[in-house]
Amino acid sequence: MNHETVSEPLRVGVVGVGWAGQQHIKAFHAIDGVEIVAVAGMETELLESIRAEYGIPHGFARWEELVELERLDAVSIAVPTFLHAPIAVAALERGLHVLSEKPLARNGEEGAAMVAAARGAGRVLDVVFNHRRRGDIKKLKSIIDGGGLGRPYYAKASWLRRSGIPTLGSWFTSPELAGGGPMADLGVHVLDYALHLLGEPKVISVSASAYAELGPRGRGGSEGFTAAASGLAFEVEDFASAFIRLEGGVTLVVEAGWASYRDPADVLDFRVYGTDGGAELRASQSPSLEIADSGLRIFTDDGDVNADYTAEPLEDGAHLAVVADFVAAIRAGQEEWGSHDGSIALTRAQIIDACYRSAREQREVRL
């Protein structure tokens, strides 16, 4: 593998040509000194269209061929969750840096194998937690870190949809392929930015519930997708919630739902109460999967006088910021690679595992 410097091009391969893969490709293409030299995907026409649009020299149907390509520096993974671990481990063992879509893997065991491979190879393993790069999240993080709310003691984070099962009967609704339903798909995002905002406190225990009330009946899917028209059964939850105890007596409640009878808007929110103030963040997602609207309100006082205000978000980041951070970590050199070994994403996977175990066994699970 090449030893990258800013003057040497970073040669990247992207596995996956769906929406997420296209976000990776756009982001890498926008960074100076990065060359996308290969892309892999099963959708032949789409693969060739993307190669033509971005001038990508190599195209493969199989990810194994991409990973074996000579003079490759990094691999970006944007495929169904069950493929994350095998691709990442193979790439890391080849001495390649890896950026993977979330969640890290189907479960903590697979995630641990990925982290071990990154540590063994001494390479970067990063995961796409793009929501923590949003402008509203970054603004709230600066307020909390600056003491604007005092000591946070209770928070609630959720991502809820009215009718948003990604595709009824697709790999998303198979536990063997996806690892879980909305708690693994959406919940991992809100869990990530919630713990990030709270300063990465240790999780003590979780008590969770999971429901599959609409999906198995063919309800809650996007237009044109029904259970009857699919080739796979609906075998995951469509709504889940978790009561999470954190170190220091802090409580976090997480809700994740693909489908429930509620407001039609696709809403992500975060509410936090602190000893000197509180905050309420609410954002909605557009049909194109971008954040369409967001608002951040801060509740506090100045002595005995109400000092509530609306905070202006910082610059948005999303996938471009994730990819830029990944490239920067690689270019920082071997001294920094060890701090990008996927450990944060592994903690998320282990917490999600505990949530599913708690829901299945109907009891609190300690970590």
Distance between CA 14 and CA 99 in Å, rounded? 9
Position of tokens 């060359």? 35
What pLDDT score was predicted for residue 229? Answer: 52
pLDDT at 339: 96
Contact in structure between 292 and 285 (CB atoms under 8 Å): yes
Collapsed DSSP state (helix, strand, coil) of residue 85: helix
User: Which residues in the chain belong to E strands, given as ranges?
Assistant: 10-15, 34-40, 58-60, 74-77, 97-100, 125-127, 152-160, 203-211, 239-246, 251-257, 267-274, 278-285, 291-299, 301-302, 305-306, 309-310, 365-366
Global confidence as pTM: 0.94
pLDDT for the residue numbered 290: 72
Residue 308: how many other CB atoms lie within 10 Å: 11
Task: Quote the pLDDT of residue 231.
Answer: 61
What is the topology classification, in CATH, of domain 10-130+320-340? Rossmann fold (3.40.50)
Specify the domain boundaries for CATH 3.40.50.720 within the chain.
10-130+320-340
Quote the pLDDT of residue 293: 78
Model pLDDT for residues 297-350, shown as the tens digit of each residue: 999 999 999 999 999 999 988 889 999 999 999 999 999 999 999 999 999 999
Per-residue confidence (pLDDT) for residue 7, from 0 to 100: 65
Q: Which residues, given as ranges, of the chain have pLDDT below 70? A: 1-7, 168-169, 222-232, 287-289
What pLDDT shows up at residue 318? Answer: 83
- Please, where in the chain does CATH 3.30.360.10 lie? 135-316
32-70 exposure pattern, b = at least 16 Cβ within 10 A, e = fewer: eebbbbbbbbeeeeebeebbeeeebeebbeebeebbebe
In order, the DSSP letters of 311-355 are PPP----HHHHHHHHHHHHHHT-HHHHTT-BSHHHHHHHHHHHHH
Instruction: Determine the CATH number of domain 135-316.
Output: 3.30.360.10
**What SS3 state is found at 147?**
coil
Specify the pLDDT at position 292. Answer: 72
Could you report the per-residue pLDDT of 2-29, keeping only the tens digit for each? 444 456 899 999 999 999 999 999 999 9
